[in-house]
Amino acid sequence: MAPTRKAKIKAGGGAAPSSSAAGAHKSKAGAGTGFAKADWKEGFRKKQAGVSDMTLLSTISNDAVNDNLKKRFENAEIYTYIGHVLISVNPFRMLPIYTDDVLHSYRGKNRLEMAPHVYAIAESAYYHMISYKENQCVIISGESGAGKTEAAKRIMQYIAAVAGGQGIDGVKEMVLATNPLLESFGCAKTLRNNNSSRHGKYLEIEFDDHGGPVGAVITNYLLEKNRVTGQINSERNFHIFYQLTKGASAAQRDAYGLQGPEAYAYTSKSKCLEVPGINDVQDWADTLKAMDVIGITKQEQDDMLRQLAAILWIGNVQFGVADDGNAFVQDQTVTEFVAYLLEVDAALVNKALTSRVMETQRGGRRGSVYEVPLNPAQASSVRDALAKAIYNNLFDWIVERVNKSMRAKAPTSHIIGVLDIYGFEIFDTNQFEQLCINYVNEKLQQIFIQLTLKTEQEEYVREQIKWTPIEYFNNKVVCDLIEEKRPPGVFAALNDACATAHADPTAADGSFVQRLGGVSSPQFESRGSKFLVRHYAGDVMYTVAGMTDKNKDVLLKDLLDLIASSKNLFLQGLFPDRPDPDSKKRPPTASDKIKASANALVEKLMRSQPSYIRTIKPNQNKSPTEYDSKAILHQIKYLGLQENIRVRRAGFAYRNTFEKMVERFYLLSPATSYAGDYIWQGDSTSGCERILRDTGIAKEEWQMGTTKAFIKNPETLFALEHMRDRYWHNMASRIQRAWRGYLRYRNECARKIQRFWMNKKEGIALAALRDYGHQVLGGRKERRRFSLLSMRRFQGDYLGVSEAGPQGQSLRNSASIGSGEAVVFSARAQLLVSKLGRSSKPSPRYLILSDKAVYILITQVVNGRASTSLERKIPLVTIRSIGLSQLRDDWFAINAGITEEGDPLLHCYFKTEFVTHLMQRTNAAVQVLIGPTIAYAKKKDKQAQITFKKDESIRKDDVYKSSSVSVPSGEPASSQSRPPVQRKARAPRTFTSNREPRAPAAVKPMGRAAPQAQTLPSGGSSFVPAAPAVRAQAPAAPSTGRAAPLPPSRSAAPPPPPAAPEKEQWKALHNFETNQPGEMALKKDDVLDVVTKDDGGWWLVKKGGQEGWAPSNVSRKESQKKPQHWASTDPNVCDQQYLQLVPPKPRAAPAAPAAPVRRAPPIAPAAASSAPVVPVAQTAPSRAPAAPRAPTAHSVAADPNAAPVSVFGSGGPGGLAAILAAKRAAAENGGASSYDSPASSNGSTPANSRPGSGLGELNYLGCFGFAWSQTIART
């Protein structure tokens, strides 16, 4: 099955046509609308470096292309498109764009959906092979060091990752394993590239019908075998020699006499043994692993290593000059070891290297045989020829062995070829190797011209398509100049020179120069011993010297006889074919071989649909930041990027025959398809045109040729593919839509119940831990008012030490808390510190409790910077007791046994929570001592005591001075946490009904903070609800056509309502003048009705049909206008109240109410008479009870240095009142109750609201019951 292709078209472009006329009409409109909006271009409108597709350049020029590539290179965007051609600039560094996540993000995506990438080219080739059953090839071109090999590796990596099929893992591994193996034997360090490919490779990956790789074939081109025997300075031999000499095992070193690379002439003469970024030892291990994956046996590996060692030792053979001028071997031990490795006679080695057997011929018959001694220069040439021949044949054997292992074991349907070959080369001295390399690149450029430029224009003319012709340079004249025989080209002249003067290389070179004089071409110039060829990439001057000798490519008969005498069958197998001395046919030269292989390569590529990657080298220094604009401009010119852009802008992005278009897209028209079947009765030409019209594509976007249909922009093709992919999906969606609606309706109630439970289960666990804290104190210590709030939960880790935040991680590291140690409590605290000659003083600290120890951290300024460090660590097993006072203070002492530091005396607002967690972690093994004083060890053997006394002048917190703490009165010691308040009842809203219109809210005063409306807590069974207040309702909204709610059932008449209690009335004690909107001015003795009470001091009152806010007992900070008669010594608090309750008239006790009847709740409940909540006293336990299971809690930031009201209070911004208000609002809208997950606060309140100080709370069961009633009503 072909992979899914997706196109992001927002408005209707992806809708498949229906089989009905209406469906066809909608499809047409949708497709047209989707394309008209050009949604695919939105990816280019975002801020980016340059443009990702250079067909969108406003100016088409080489300079504009260069500038765009520079912008993207500097922004680490190395890939750019020119239509379907990918331009890659070598970054000379590893970028994070080749991860598995990035790879899979390109799977199934078309080119324009994602950013330019080599993975997109690989995906396009694979998709077209699967969908259109066509062979594909990826042609990678560019100069040496531009990143061709890396691009080829990424393509193979992608195909191996996305290709499917059974039993193909072995093929994938072998294909990927060819990279390290052939890189080791075929790549080397050059001046331009640390990993330069010194050979060409065409890898053909073979696939079955299902798109699974079943085999592969590698074709080798132009191995630079001269590198084996010599390199220029700062370059290296092939990587394999350095890997072998550095990474070989001890056994291999003994067997083959291996030493370091500095010991061999072939690896050390260039004075470059190390390369930055290359680890030869690690690469050697990868090479051996690749051999194992491919299936090369251990014996074959040993034979390969033996020949590599023989090559290195052959290079160490040195020749001396005898008296007669002939050469002799200086060190016989070297030749003897070479003979041992080659398994031949040592005397034969000496003879083959220092002499040559020549045979004369007479009249075509054999004549006399002579043995001619060689001089040292000739002997060195023979030695190097032997080494090069062994390595070249060994490389060919490796390629054949790899092909044998990767041979397809199943039928092959199609292939994807990846061509990685030499880039164009221009050196100071260009010889035969550069001529061959540049010739092959000319052939590849000719393919590019034919397939992207010439063929494009010729097809438009042939198909009678309107377009703008583009002029281009056809490099066929350069290819003919090199390879043609009539008239003779460069290769023909070279072969003739070798045939006429084969015995003397110098004479052959001279004959070659003479024959070059007869070559006539505007792309050629002969200049003495050199000649110039005007290639597409630039003018190259070639040197004639040595070309004829390299072109012969024939090993001396003496060396062939030497190899034939070897007892090593592997070595003999490397030279299977020996030239027949009696043959009249001239053996093929090197130029003949490269010409034949180049033409065969071109023939293979022409049978495939090509994709192009044009690589560019940004600089010659291999710098990741340098961008050489001049050098890149030259590459842009010879790659023909400007002409390519012009063709893409003038031509059509896609074309196909009418038959294939109809076969591919007949589903998109109701005239050609019904229920997936092809129903068109006309010819394919009219059918194709009907499909394109029915899909709603604009006429300017496509043209009908004589045999093919042409689509102008790629987004149009992607829209067609997207509609085709969605066709069957849309059919199935009709059934799925109905089923999903049923499931959604059926599961709505269950999901709501689950949602409420998930929100409350954490609060239940936290409340259980808080209640355990009450049991730990056992009714022996007065409590702070804010510790008893129903909203108060024991969160534990307030500093986030157990989380991944920066503050928590910093504290964790400072305390050296291990990863396996769980932190259950953390908060800011104060430690009582004694200083010499001064009284003790509280000092800020961080207090952390884990399951193993108590940590006290201190922050100090060191060298001008704040530094947090561990001051003390107290293991839990050493803690004997915790000392607390009986009052509402926040001091406690940790009795840690006899230590030099003594017992820490700490002040922490969360002391009850700390003690609770400590008891829980120690299984209540720590004794909790509560008394009028706290005794602690100030130092070892020095006991101290701190006393506590009540002082009502202290308004908040407590005050420490001289071993005494003054603290105001707190809540009774027997106090328990307040129960949640019942939430307001409201009418349940059905699943589909409209919302009831709300009555207009009273205008709150501007400029002052208004209190939040609170629901009074229930007082138990004696509580009598007040009668609902009658409030004006907003006029009914006009009917909108929706279903009205059903009338209530009248099966039974409801009983009469109970008598309404007498309303509370309040009398103003003072005048209150105000001009603020929402506030009500009062005069002394005014009688008022109170609508809403708030503990913050502001009440919502009603007088004569008007409502407004008035003070009941408010601080001066909250009032912008203070009465002149306020008399208070406290600058923040007014001691006199504004309103006084009017005593109600006595009346008879009401009769017992009748059984209540279920009725719709009122719009808004009226204020009820308050009934105080009487806390239930609890007997102090004899010992600490068992600890409940620790809940999972999220950390909440807290500041112990702030007043308690800022931590749990309601007056500060973001305090409890703000949280309660948010919770109340959420509850009124069907939200969570008081035990919901904590809501984050940004620390700010609205400017026109008053911070309330009331402790109104939400009832957990009431909220859950209300939510249940809502669910039942909706269901």
Q: What is the CATH number of the domain that holds 845?
A: 2.30.29.30
Residue 69 confidence (pLDDT) above 50: yes
Q: Tens of pLDDT along 806-837?
A: 888 999 999 999 888 999 999 999 999 987 76
Residue 454 sits in a domain whose CATH number is 1.20.58.530
Please tell me whether 400 is known to bind a ligand.
Answer: no
Q: What is the pLDDT of residues 931-970, one digit of tens each?
A: 999 999 888 778 889 999 999 888 878 899 888 999 999 9
- Does residue 974 fall inside a structural domain? yes
The pLDDT assigned to 149 comes to 87
State how far Cα 876 lies from the chain centre: 43
In a domain, 715, yes or no: yes
Write out the two tokens for 261.
């690379």
Per DSSP, 1249 falls in state S
Ligand-binding annotation for 148, yes or no, is: yes
Say if residue 170 is in the same domain as residue 276: yes
Query: What is the SS3 assignment for 1189?
Result: coil
Q: List the CATH number of the domain containing 22.
A: 3.30.70.1590
Residue 82 and residue 205 in one domain: yes
Return the ∠ at Cα 524 (arms to 519 and 529), rounded to 5°: 80
pLDDT value, residue 996: 46
pLDDT, residue 602, reads 92
Structure tokens given for 836: 């010499």
* CATH number of the CATH domain containing 1273: 2.30.30.40
Q: What share of the chain is helix, strand, coil (3-state, %, to 5)?
A: 35, 20, 45
Other beta carbons less than 10 A from residue 448's beta carbon: 22
- Greatest CA separation for the chain: 154
Last residue of some domain: 650, 674, 702? 650
Amino acid at 1231: G
* Whether 522 and 592 share a structural domain: yes
Residue that is last in its domain, among 710, 730, 763? 763
Neighbour count for residue 1262 (Cβ, 10 Å): 20
Q: Does the structure show a pLDDT above 50 at 1256?
A: no
Between 252 and 34, residue with greater pLDDT: 252
My answer on whether 706 and 848 are in the same domain is: no
As a whole number, mean pLDDT of residues 303-316 equals: 96
| Residue 1183: inside a domain | no
Return the SS3 of 882: strand
- Structure-block tokens of residue 293: 């994956």
Got the DSSP string for 195-215?
TEE-SEEEEEEEE-TTS-EEE
911 shares its domain with 1007: no
Q: Among the ranges 1-5, 483-487, 1033-1037, 1105-1109, which has the highest mean pLDDT value?
A: 483-487
The Cα 408–Cα 414 span in angstroms is 12
Number of domains in the chain: 5
Q: What would the mean pLDDT of 1176-1183 be, rounded to a whole number?
A: 40
Q: pLDDT of 340-396, one tens digit each? A: 999 999 999 999 999 988 776 655 556 677 888 999 988 998 999 999 999 999 999
The answer as to whether 500 is a domain residue is yes
Last residue of a domain, one of 711, 740, 763: 763
Residue 460, domain extent: 432-572+585-606
Listing DSSP states for 549-607 in one string gives HHHH----HHHHHHHHT-S-HHHHHH------TT--SPPP-HHHHHHHHHHHHHHHHHT
Peptide bond into 487 cis (omega under 30): yes
- 480 shares its domain with 591: yes
Digit-coded pLDDT (tens) for 509-564? 999 999 998 898 999 999 989 999 999 888 999 999 989 888 887 788 889 999 99
Q: What is the pLDDT of residue 140?
A: 92
Q: Which one has a higher pLDDT value, 779 or 647? A: 779
Please report the pLDDT score of residue 364 as a whole number. 54
pLDDT tens profile 92-127: 999 999 999 999 999 998 887 789 999 999 999 999
Round to whole Å and give the CA distance between 491 and 498: 11
Residue 584 has a pLDDT of 58
Tell me, what's the pLDDT at 18? 37
pLDDT over threshold 60, residue 864: yes
Determine how many CB atoms are found less than 10 A away from the CB of residue 549: 18
139-153 pLDDT, tens digit each: 998 888 899 989 999
Per-residue pLDDT tens for 268-285? 999 999 998 899 999 999
Average pLDDT over residues 850-878: 92
- Cα 505-510-511 angle, rounded to 5 deg: 95
Query: Does 143 count as an annotated binding residue?
Result: yes
At 1014 the pLDDT is 36
Residues 742 and 796 in one domain: no
- Catalytically annotated residues: 144-145, 149, 193, 196-197, 423, 425
Strand pairing report for 891-895 and 881-885 = antiparallel
Instruction: Give a yes or no: residue 1148 inside a domain.
Output: no
- Looking up residue 236, the CATH number of its domain turns out to be 3.40.850.10
Q: Which residue has the tokens 């109701």?
A: 670
In this predicted structure, the answer to whether residue 244 has a pLDDT above a threshold of 80 is yes
Q: Are 875 and 852 in contact (CB under 8 A)?
A: yes
Residue 479 in contact with residue 442, Cβ under 8 Å? yes
d(CA 536, CA 533): 10
pLDDT of residue 243: 96
Is the pLDDT reported for residue 1236 higher than 50?
A: no
Residue 75: per-residue pLDDT: 93
The reply to whether 149 sits in an annotated binding site is yes
Element (H, E) at 498: helix 490-500
Report the pLDDT value the prediction gives residue 1059, as an integer from 0 to 100. Answer: 55
Indicate if 47 and 31 belong to the same structural domain: no
Residues 640 and 667 in one domain: no
Q: What is the pLDDT of residues 590-619, one digit of tens each?
A: 899 999 999 999 999 989 999 999 999 999
Q: Which pLDDT band holds residue 290 (cuts at 50, 70, 90)?
A: very high
Residue 333 lies in a domain: no
Average pLDDT over residues 624-647: 89
Q: What is the C-alpha separation between 205 and 893, in angstroms, rounded?
A: 76
CA distances in angstroms from 993 to 356, 375, 1046, 1162, listed in the order given: 107, 109, 10, 18
> 487 and 628, same structural domain?
no
Interval 1114-1168: pLDDT, tens = 433 333 334 443 333 334 434 456 667 666 655 555 555 454 444 444 443 333 3
Ligand-binding site membership of 200 (annotated):
no
pLDDT at 1260: 35
Question: Does some domain include residue 345?
Answer: no
Same domain, 842 and 815: yes
Q: Give the C-alpha distances (Å, rounded to integers) separating 798 from 442, 906, 1200.
A: 71, 17, 11
Q: Lowest-confidence range among 308-322, 358-372, 995-1009, 1120-1134?
A: 1120-1134
Q: Is 144 annotated as a binding residue?
A: yes
Residue 687 is labelled as binding a ligand: no
How many residues are recorded in the chain?
Answer: 1275
Structure token pair of residue 593: 């071989």
Per the model's pLDDT, the better-predicted residue between 925 and 2 turns out to be: 925
Please indicate whether residue 575 or residue 56 has the higher confidence score (pLDDT): 575
Ligand-binding annotation for 246, yes or no, is no
Distances (CA, A) of 1074 to 1087, 1097, 1121, 1136, 1248: 18, 16, 7, 19, 16
Which two tokens mark 227? Answer: 């590198």
Residue 1265 sits at the vertex; the CA angle it makes with 1262 and 1266, to the nearest 5 degrees, is 85
Which residue, among 756, 758, 783, has the nearest Cα to 770 in the 3D structure? 783
Is residue 1061 very low, low, confident or very high in pLDDT (cuts 50, 70, 90)?
low
Does 685 lie in the same domain as 644?
no
Is position 302 within any domain? no
pLDDT digits (tens, 9 = 90+) for 414-455: 999 999 887 788 888 999 989 999 999 899 888 887 777 777
Integer CA distances (angstroms), 801 to 614, 817, 869, 1015, in order: 53, 10, 14, 37
Q: Give dist(CA 696, CA 29) in Å, integer.
A: 6
Binned at pLDDT 50, 70 and 90, residue 1002 comes out as very low
